[in-house]
Chains A and B, each alone.
Chain A
Amino acid sequence: NAGVTQTPKFRILKIGQSMTLQCTQDMNHNYMYWYRQDPGMGLKLIYYSVGAGITDKGEVPNGYNVSRSTTEDFPLRLELAAPSQTSVYFCASSSGTNTVLTEAFFGQGTRLTVV
């Protein structure tokens, strides 16, 4: 039972490089989320999606892009990496309707360092 899978687990980028963080879930959840976690700051929502083809900005979207072409996948794109994007990134998914929401299930995280 895989749940939410993130790849890679670790990555070092040079300033200005680009990369895609992959996230896939096998629970048929409609909601998916990307967070970044920095020490003392908790988790900040970057982008989220309420279903395939629908995405929206969270609290800290600048410097990132997402797409949701399928229910299972929600990749996060960094176009021009900056040192401020050094962080641990978590992907999560949950299931919900207009009146019901389940808890979010999290991946194991991607530790990204930009040098």
Chain B
Amino acid sequence: AQSVTQLGSHVSVSEGALVLLRCNYSSSVPPYLFWYVQYPNQGLQLLLKYTSAATLVKGINGFEAEFKKSETSFHLTKPSAHMSDAAEYFCAVSEGGGATNKLIFGTGTLLAVQP
């Protein structure tokens, strides 16, 4: 069964600093991987997704993530944090389509951006 682990439930960075949010996955087949962002009292919005094409995936708002099969990782990065990036971020994994498809989320990482 697929699963994801997000290391660090809370991450704090200074405005302009590098953002690194960690995600490790477990999957018995080549996975689909996603990063979502949730602003307070809102639903989830897709940041980016990996679907077995390029291993470096670029998303919205300057975020990107790199799929590393050898490390079973899909960490999210942004070179320079903005105050507006403060939100909760979720990594998710799916083993693809078909009759047994599930979309499983990690426990989330709350990102704080200090001025």
Report which A residues bind B (CB closer than 8 A).
Answer: 31, 33, 35, 40-45, 48, 50, 54, 56, 58-59, 90, 92, 94, 96-101, 103-104, 106-109
Contacts and interface: CB of A to CB of B under 8 A. Distances in A.
Given A41-B107, A96-B96, A106-B43, A58 B90 contact: no
Contacts of A109: 42-43
Interface in B57-115: 90, 92, 94, 96-108
A42 B103 contact: no
B90 A96 contact: no
Secondary structure call for the B interface: loop
A96 B43 contact: no
B103 A92 contact: yes
B104 A97 contact: no
A92 B94 CA distance: 14
A100 B97 contact: yes
Contact of B103 (A45, A56, A99): A45
Q: Which of B32, B45, B94, B102 has most chain A Cβ within 10 Å?
A: B102
24 contacts: A31-B97, A35-B105, A40-B107, A41-B107, A42-B6, A42-B107, A43-B108, A44-B105, A45-B104, A48-B101, A50-B100, A56-B100, A94-B103, A96-B101, A97-B97, A99-B97, A100-B51, A100-B96, A101-B94, A103-B49, A104-B34, A104-B44, A104-B46, A109-B43
